[in-house]
Amino acid sequence: MDKFDTFRREAPEFVYKNFTIEETENTVEIGYFFDITGLAEFRPSWSFPKPSDVSVKNDLIFERLAFSLGMAEAVSYWKAVCSPLMRVECGELSAEQVKWWKKLYFSGLGEFFYVNGIKTDIDSFVNIEASGRFVNSAEAQRREPKGCLVPIGGGKDSALTLETLVGAGMECRCYAINNRNSTIETVKAAGLTADSLITAKRRFDRSLVELNNRGYLNGHTPFSSIVAFSAEITAYLNGLKYIVLSNEDSANESTVAGQAVNHQYSKSFEFEQDFHNYEKTYLGTNAYYFSFLRPLSEFQIAKMFVSHKKYLPVFRSCNLGSKVSPDIWCGECPKCLFVSLILSPFLSREELFSIFGRDMLDDPAMENYFLELTGQSEHKPFECVGSIDEVNLSVSLAVRNMLESGSELPYLFKKYVELGLYCPETIDERNKAYCAGWSENNLLPEEFRNILKSEMERLL
């Protein structure tokens, strides 16, 4: 808290000074300029592929999109000092838009505030003042968009979305930020050609890392909002109608018990609704943003995913491992352990070992993460992991499978039984309820709803 107050006094103003749009035959380059007055300047940038017959010259819609992506980027740099004023000099924001952005920043930084011990509220943490104007006045005439843009992160969720939609005959393009090997291999496994994948290049300004090394504030930001706005740009450039995310119902659960602190806020249904409405009201691209897997839990997704064995050797969900080329499972983080646990009822220990390269279930070093994931701690791991209830169901099913087959329980499962968490009497009832689960808090168009329900019935 002392740092928070000190840095706010040192740097009372963060400025979103401008953004530039430059166009080549096959790309649109967007550059941003952020300034912490008297302390640091940041110049992150993006490069988006586009068809050669598409131009964004004098296009007001694209200008709004580029500006909005900058607003999503800005919070990563603002958080170093948490300036009480964000001054926006290069675009227009109504009072309602300011309110929208403050909600995204405040809720998306919930983990950042919690980990850094910052006590603040949505009214006072920042004021946003916009004094700029957009340059262009004409909105481009676009062909009626069609087809799907599916963001691919390389994990099981987006792989299941892509597999299901392609199998149903939907026209799909894929989207990635700064390609990873698992993204490319997922697209291949789905039977799509290399040109089905559209890759945007994001260039992060590492001056922020230098500030962090000097002791300025650091922590989690709502990255999925950057995915949302950059996917909007990609869909707009390529004439695509549906932006099909793969966020599930489990992402709505708070990370910290009893508090509105959600590591996955920008993957939540609340943000999905907010973004969907923001696009319709203020951007007007005619794209439709929604999450295909929103009605389902991580447990259901895992059970459906394992039926598509071709993805098991190629999918990756490890944040630490994504920093290695080619990307790997590190086998030591809570995300790796969660994926191993959620798959454990449906795959043998040998199959899990072949995926992760080690047996995390038999590793005492993973015990603290295991206790957090099963609800025996103040908070879940600060990672994109499923709900406590579904982790407990997955572990209980896996324990029962091993006991019935006469297999020795691995270390973490022995601990689970010793703690009295294994309740075989309720397993079948809980399993049945989860497999039949369907959250009505979703934005699925009817066609996509029917596809998902059909696949759900077939696999569950």
User: Quick one: pLDDT at residue 322?
Assistant: 84
Q: Which two tokens stand for residue 104?
A: 């995204």
pLDDT tens, residue by residue, 38-73: 899 999 999 999 999 999 999 999 999 999 999 999
CA–CA dist 13, 106 (Å, integer): 17
Mean pLDDT of 261-272: 95
Q: How confident is the model at residue 144, as a pLDDT?
A: 83
- H-type helices in 315-437, by residue range? 334-343, 349-356, 367-373, 388-405, 411-418, 427-435
Res. 2 pLDDT band, cuts 50 70 90: confident
Give the distance, in angstroms, between the CA of residue 401 and the centroid of all CA atoms in the same chain. 32
Structure-model confidence comparison of residues 260 and 362, the more confident one: 362
The domains of the chain are located at: 2-136+144-291, 321-437
Are 186 and 179 in contact by the 8 Å Cβ rule? The answer is: no
pLDDT average, residue stretch 238-245:
97
388-405 and 427-435 are packed helices; what angle lies between their axes, rounded to 10 degrees? 130
CA 203 and chain centroid, separation: 18
How much is the mean pLDDT over the chain?
Answer: 95
* DSSP states along 299-350: HHHHHHHTT-GGGTTT----TTGGGSSS----SSSHHHHHHHHHHTTTS-HH
Mean pLDDT of 361-376: 97
Q: Which of 305, 310, 311 has its CA nearest to residue 246?
A: 305
What confidence category does residue 143 fall into, taking pLDDT thresholds of 50, 70 and 90?
low
pLDDT over 90 at 87, yes or no: yes
Q: What is the arithmetic mean of pLDDT over 224-234?
A: 98
* DSSP result, 66-88: HHHHHHHHHHHHHTTTT-SEEEE
Give CA–CA dist 12/391, Å, rounded. Answer: 44
* Coil/strand/helix, residue 196: helix
Angstrom distance (rounded) from CA 445 to CA 288: 9
pLDDT, position 142: 64
pLDDT band at 223 (very low <50, low <70, confident <90, very high): very high
Mean local confidence (pLDDT), 221-248: 97
CA atoms within 13 A on the CB side of 149: 27
Tell me the percentage of the chain whose pLDDT exceeds 90: 92
